[in-house]
């Protein structure tokens, strides 16, 4: 079993829809949770960063973390064709030199 599970998609939605992207994880030591967006042939771009449980909102994006269920989500409101990309969840147990543990990424397609 992978430490972080993420549905690879593709997930296809119409423009304006609310998108829900999710990851589950098994390591209860994870405390820092991130969402990255990666366009084709580009490096990942940090979208959201959350520490421990709770919600965080930034514009059209909302990140949720439920540590009791080991489940994190990213919601995109009013989705746009420019949101079409692969979304990677990432997490770590704490600050330091450790690398992040990534999900496999979910490919999102927003149809105009």
Partner 1 sequence: GAVVSQHPSRVICKSGTSVKIECRSLDFQATTMFWYRQFPKQSLMLMATSNEGSKATYEQGVEKDKFLINHASLTLSTLTVTSAHPEDSSFYICSARDLGQTTDTQYFGPGTRLTVL
Q: Which residues bind partner 1 (CB under 8 A)?
A: 32, 34, 36, 41-46, 49, 51, 88, 90, 92, 94-100, 102-105, 107
Q: Are strands 54-58 and 71-76 parallel, antiparallel or unpaired?
A: unpaired
Instruction: Kindly report the three-state secondary structure assignment for every residue of 41-89.
Output: CCCCEEEEEEECCEEEEECCEEEEEECCCCEEEEEECCCCHHHCEEEEE
Q: Which is nearer to partner 1, 25 or 36 (CB)?
A: 36
CB of 16 to partner 1, least distance (A): 27
Nearer to partner 1, 15 or 52 (CB): 52
1 or 14: CB nearest partner 1 = 1
């Amino acid at each position: 079993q992978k430490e972080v599970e993420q549905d690879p998609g593709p997930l296809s939605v119409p423009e304006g829809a609310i998108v829900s992207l999710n990851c589950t994880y098994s390591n209860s030591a994870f405390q820092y949770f991130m969402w990255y967006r990666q366009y084709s042939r580009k490096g990942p771009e940090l979208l959201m960063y959350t520490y421990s449980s709770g919600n965080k909102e930034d514009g059209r994006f909302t990140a949720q973390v439920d540590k009791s269920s080991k489940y994190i989500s990213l919601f995109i409101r009013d989705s746009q064709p420019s949101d079409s990309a692969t979304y990677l969840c990432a997490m770590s147990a704490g600050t330091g030199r450790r690398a992040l543990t990534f999900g496999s990424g979910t490919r999102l397609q927003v149809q105009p």
